[in-house]
Structure 1
């Protein structure tokens, strides 16, 4: 029976031993870096943060078109979502009444009637933001509010 020396065994497996030593040193270095840069601490928002959000007060928006009795008008307007709308051959008075929770509202109304007088009004939360009247043949009118 032959005895194989320890040096001979190590010379055959030196790459495996170097790889294990490198892995151990690298693992220890990563462990130390984690503790230095505090990556073990979990940072999150406090659970009460959702309660700090204050909802916007609802806005009550009213657009009106008015004229003498029997007036018929063509009306185009932007609703509270700024989408164009159209109403044809509408008997006056006419109104668009809605409520929104958007922080700002951009509304516009235009109308042309078949009489010599027509008017429009935009109210937000019962405050008149714009009001106009026109007195001319086939009167045309517009009202605009972008501050809402």
Structure 2
């Protein structure tokens, strides 16, 4: 019975460098070969250095024709309104208790400006519109005229929206 508990004989620990690190070396070889294959395939499919983004970073886009957008709000004589609108950079702006008629001129060289205006007045009605001049010889173009229902006696409200003036 004492023989059953004898320790197993120790193996000789004579593995070489390749025997110890074969897995690490195999992974390194696979990564190196894969990297080389991807590098070669980039050339085959036309992906070259500097081709991303549509051109060089120093390339300047031509500016679009300047345009002028006039925001207009009007109502009964002597009335006032609170007006909220988006400026030429699409930042919200507010004009509090301004006398009517009211107008604001926005200028931009961007291809399109989202023109948005809401107004609430103390008169019986209120109206708004955008007047766009692209400075291309076509003259002024009136866009999105809108008027509240007549005979509203309390806080007439109107909005004008043009997604790309």
TM-score where L is the length of structure 2: 0.57
Contact 2:145 2:160 in 1 (8 A): yes
Q: Which residue in the other structure is 2:146 paired with?
A: 132
CA distance in 2, matches of 1:140, 1:58: 31
Give me the CA root mean square deviation.
2.6
Kindly state the Cα deviation for residue 80 of structure 1 after the two structures are TM-superposed: 1.4
CA distance in 2, matches of 1:98, 1:89: 20
Q: Which residue in the other structure is 2:26 paired with?
A: none
Is 1:120 aligned to 2:128, yes or no? yes
Structure 1 spans left out of the alignment, 5+ residues: 1-36, 38-42, 44-49
Kindly state the Cα deviation for residue 98 of structure 1 after the two structures are TM-superposed: 2.2
Q: Which residue in the other structure is 1:102 paired with?
A: 110
Is 1:144 aligned to 2:161, yes or no? yes
Q: Which residue in the other structure is 2:92 paired with?
A: 84
Instruction: Render the CA deviation track for 1:74-106: whole Å, top value 9, x for unaligned.
Output: 111111111000111100011110211011110
CA distance in 1, matches of 2:63, 2:90: 21
Is 1:93 aligned to 2:128, yes or no? no
CA distance in 2, matches of 1:54, 1:86: 32
Number of corresponding residues: 105
Kindly state the Cα deviation for residue 146 of structure 1 after the two structures are TM-superposed: 0.9
CA distance in 2, matches of 1:103, 1:79: 15
Kindly state the Cα deviation for residue 54 of structure 1 after the two structures are TM-superposed: 3.8
Runs of 4+ in 1 over 6 A off after TM superposition: none
Contact 2:63 2:110 in 1 (8 A): no
Kindly state the Cα deviation for residue 59 of structure 1 after the two structures are TM-superposed: 0.8
